[in-house]
Each structure stands twice: as structure tokens, then as C-alpha cells.
Structure 1
């Protein structure tokens, strides 16, 4: 999207901070901070990080350097931060993928709860259930009724086995008891094209990358999978409202540091994140990208991370998804 490209270019200079002994003497940060991301440049999570990093850096007086380290399950990025010195110089953009990886993989080289010090949530990424613009299904209930009337007739597409979109599709199948066939695709463009052409009757995807197709009239939103309707799409009901009570699936991100990072650094970083996320221009740009701003205390974020790990582990178990 043009907006995404503009935000990416405008925020690409982001960089940042720290050192433990200095932090305890109150002189942190004294140099740039490295913020490690577990995915490539250009996606909505990357754009979000690059959008807010300069605002956080303004308050810290040091730049924040974005370090993209894409890998399956975000394992490479998380491991690199978990093994970094707890001096405030290296931080991780923790995401839903870290929670789903803990649920999907038999073993990981880190523990998402024990090896990281939570700082703050940053944003949530609402998911949406999509169908083709010319689809005969006008509501989510129509799709479920068709699946029950003719078992095996409805395919639900997602991307990347094990991520939140895929597990959301599996959760819909298990919660409704409908005979839905989950079909994973390699990428979002592949999934969107398959949905628009009717290869799959419904898709589970993050809202942000689907917005241009919704605006262009190629796709139609059946339901949001968030707890509340998305602000700029008030006419699209939630799945809970329309057909599946308590079906809530979404993605999120936030910032964390290696365990043992001094508490003053955690508190200072939390303060600057909260300040940045309160900026009206930041909030407006995030909403344009299909992203909901969100903040928390370190303790609230820690509780949330633990709850997410337990929730995704139960989804994987209930859906009978084999661990890798």
C-alpha cells in the first residue's frame, strides 16, 4: 500500500541504547539500542516498529536500530536476545509468534516466560474472516450452515502452519464443530488470491494486509475475530456477535529485554513507549494500517504473555495439531 510504503521510508532511520553499570549510575542510555525483530522488512509489524521507534528515541535521547532477523517461529531473533547481555542495549519485539512457537515446537532454545523481562505491549493486530466479493455467503453463519449441510464443501484458508492465522482457523473448526477443511498457503498474497477466486470459501487473516483488497472490492469481510468491532469498519460484526460466542483471535506485539535487565531501564523504556503510543499522529497512522494501539505496565504484559502461552497451547491440543 502507498501508506505503508510512505511510513516505511519515513521511519526507516530508527535506532537506540545502554550498559548495566552505567544504567545503575543513572546514565543509561549512552549509545544506540538494538531492537530485534523476528521477521523481514515491509510487513505490518515491521512498519509498526519503525513508526514508533523514532518517537521512543526522542524521549531516550538515543536512536533505536531495527535489526530484522526473520526465521520460522521467530526463533532466531528471540534466541539472540535471550543470550544478550541484560544491559538495556538489546531488546526484542515480542509477538504472538513467540507464544504460538512455544505451543507448536517440542523444544526451543529459550523460554518465552523465564528468559525475557516484559516491558510493555505496543499494539494488537485484529484478524478478520474474509470471503470473495461475489461469494454467496453474506454472513459467517451462512458459511457454517453450508459446512454443516454439506460436509467437506467449505475450505478455510490461512498462512503458515502454526501461526495465529492458522491456529485461528483451526480454533474456528474445533469450536463450531463444522466440517471445515483448513488449507494453509505460503504467503498472504497467495491466500488473498485464492479467496478472491473462490479456491477457498473463507480465509483467516490479519486485517492489515487485507485492507486494500477490501477497499478495492475484491474481498468482503464476514466478521472480525476481535472482542470489539474495528473502529474504521463499524458495519462488520465480530464473530462473537454474529455466529460463534467467545471466538476471539488476534495478534499482538510488545517489547521485552533479556531477563536480568535492571528495573530502572525497564521502567524508563515502559514510560517512553506509553508516551509514544499516546501521540495522536502515531495512533492515527496505526489505525490506518489496521493496527490497534495498546500499552501496559511491565507486570500486565508479563501476565498477558503467560496467559497467551497457555491459551495457544490449549488451542493446539484441542485442535490435534502435531508438535514440530
Structure 2
């Protein structure tokens, strides 16, 4: 991780030299499309502190929660392209493009892509009282009794909910997807047995795991999570190709100078390579994953197309 980050900084060296003249005379507003307190907010604030130290200018996190993160994204899309306003772009921005018929911005045209920041792995989990010890056992039981099982998630049209729809489709199961208003409601339903399987990001499940209230059957990632080496991937658990990862990164308004984009990307890579940042993110269930602007743009385009297919296959009405 450290080596990749340092190589990324080295590759950006010419851009950094040109960016030395970029010295904002006011704070940089980092706009988030959700409320304070969640793992995404905590991650951004941790990184913002390091960016502030490196840039010598306050990077102020500003929360603008709304459905689909639309309010935050629109605010940044319409901001001056001078490096003073940036967006924490997330999976929600990609799912919003798939779920909503019309948005007040175009995700691929109205932003400059700076860098992906991190992955938030999703898990498939059950309450501690569940009879299922493996994902294979759950799938086999659900196939034996069609229509008897359910899978719970939060936020219809969000990544967790679409991940549940994708699981149902890929596993070939006749089961109900139940959407809850908030994660605590979902986890309580799992521990009480009202929900048979949970599709959620790792972070809020970790305390339940530590307290013995839930079990993780599989992590929906290409590789096992470093701090949970005993938990298999969905592929290892028998569901080939099932990868569902939320993510976030930095974007700026379209036409933001490339030198500014490069400087921000390099400083983000530097921050994520710091041991204290990486270790804290892993504690939160988050894996650092910086990259180049062009790669981030391609990644977001692929995510948009992927979630659009999931929405269409699940016959989820567009809003």
C-alpha cells in the first residue's frame, strides 16, 4: 500500500511542480452527501485533518445529507472550479444515476475526478441465533424452501439494497428483499431473527460481531479483509463473482485546473499511506485505495453501468 502510494506521488511530480502556485486564500470546503457520525464521515474527517496539515489551509468537512447525495453533488457541480470546493463522491452517486430518471448534473461530465479514497467492503451476515454457519448452508436451505427466506438491507436503491438484489439474482433464490429505514433497525431485526440474512457494509456489523450478536458468513470482496482473516470471501463461500464494495473518493467541479487535481490527489495518497491513518481506517472496516484521476473516472463509469444493470434486472422503478 505504501509503495503504491509513493509511486503515485512520484508519477504526479510534474503536476505538483506546476501546482505550487495554488495556495487557496480561504478554507477548502469538502462537501459530504450524508449526516455526521457514520463511518464515511469519520473517514473523511480523519483524512481532512491530514490534508489540512499538508496543504497549510483548512479543509472543512461540510455535511449536506439528502436522498442519493444529490444536494451535495449539485452544490459541487455548480461551484467555481478553483479548488476551494470538493466532493466526497461515493457509491451513492453511482446508484443515484441508476435509480433516478433525472439528476441536476451529469456525473461524468460535470466533475473532475481526483482520486478514489477507500473501499467499504460489504458483508453477508446473520444473527447469532441463526442455524446457518456458512453461506452455502443458507443458499441450500433457501432453495429447498422457495419463498421462505428473506434478506434485509437499508435504503431502497442504495448500495446495500442493490447488493441484496444482486445476491438474490446471482444465487438464483426466490426470497424477499426487506428494506429498513436505518442500519440499527436492520441489525436489531437480524439479532431477533426477523431478518434471515443481512446485506450491509462491514463497519456497523463489526461491533455486533465483537459482541457475539451476529456472525459474518462471507465478505463480498475480491480478498479477505485484513483484520478478519477467518471470514471467507463470497467467492470462497460458493457464490462465484459476487463482489459488492462501497467506495468513496474526491471529485471537484469540471474545469478545475489539472495542477490542482494532481496536488489534491498526491496529498490524499500521502495521507492514506500514513500508518496512523491506515490503521484507523482498518479499525473502521475501511480499506485505503487511492489511484490516478483517469483510473477513478473509468471506475465510476463502470460502477454506473453495473448498478444500472442491477436496477433493470431487479425491476426497481426509477424515481
TM-score by length of 2: 0.93
Q: Which residue of 2 aligns with 1:105?
A: 100
Confirm whether residue 38 of structure 1 aligns to residue 33 of structure 2: yes
Q: How do 1:218-237 residues align onto structure 2 when only pairs under 5 Å count?
A: 218-237=213-232
- Report the Cα distance in structure 1 between the residues aligned to 2:20 and 2:301, rounded to whole angstroms: 32
- Report the Cα distance in structure 1 between the residues aligned to 2:271 and 2:120, rounded to whole angstroms: 18
- Report the Cα distance in structure 2 between the residues aligned to 1:194 and 1:131, rounded to whole angstroms: 10
Instruction: Indicate which of 274, 278, 284 corresponds to 1:279.
Output: 274
Q: For structure 1, list consecutive stretches of 5 or more residues without a partner in the other structure.
A: 1-22
Q: For structure 2, list consecutive stretches of 5 or more residues without a partner in the other structure.
A: 1-17
RMSD (Å) for aligned C-alpha atoms: 1.1
CA contact (8 A) 1:130 1:223 kept: yes
- Report the Cα distance in structure 2 between the residues aligned to 1:292 and 1:317, rounded to whole angstroms: 30
Q: Which residue of 2 aligns with 1:119?
A: 114
- Report the Cα distance in structure 2 between the residues aligned to 1:140 and 1:181, rounded to whole angstroms: 17
- Report the Cα distance in structure 2 between the residues aligned to 1:232 and 1:24, rounded to whole angstroms: 38
CA contact (8 A) 1:169 1:204 kept: yes
The aligned length equals 302
- Report the Cα distance in structure 2 between the residues aligned to 1:161 and 1:243, rounded to whole angstroms: 26
CA contact (8 A) 2:128 2:191 kept: yes
Answer 1 or 2: higher relative contact order, Cα 8 Å, separation at least 6: 2
- Report the Cα distance in structure 1 between the residues aligned to 2:101 and 2:29, rounded to whole angstroms: 29
- Report the Cα distance in structure 2 between the residues aligned to 1:25 and 1:230, rounded to whole angstroms: 38
Confirm whether residue 200 of structure 1 aligns to residue 200 of structure 2: no
Instruction: Indicate which of 224, 231, 240 corresponds to 2:235.
Output: 240
Q: Give the ranges of 4+ consecutive aligned residues of structure 1 lying more than 6 Å apart after TM superposition.
A: none
Q: How big is the shift at 1:43?
A: 0.3
Q: Which residue of 1 aligns with 2:58?
A: 63
- Report the Cα distance in structure 1 between the residues aligned to 2:315 and 2:244, rounded to whole angstroms: 18
Q: Equivalent residue of 1:241, what SS?
A: coil
Q: How big is the shift at 1:29?
A: 2.2
Q: Which residue of 1 aligns with 2:303?
A: 308
Q: How do 1:142-291 residues align onto structure 2 when only pairs under 5 Å count?
A: 142-291=137-286
TM-score by length of 1: 0.92
Q: Equivalent residue of 2:81, what SS?
A: coil
- Report the Cα distance in structure 2 between the residues aligned to 1:72 and 1:104, rounded to whole angstroms: 11
Instruction: Indicate which of 73, 76, 84 corresponds to 1:89.
Output: 84
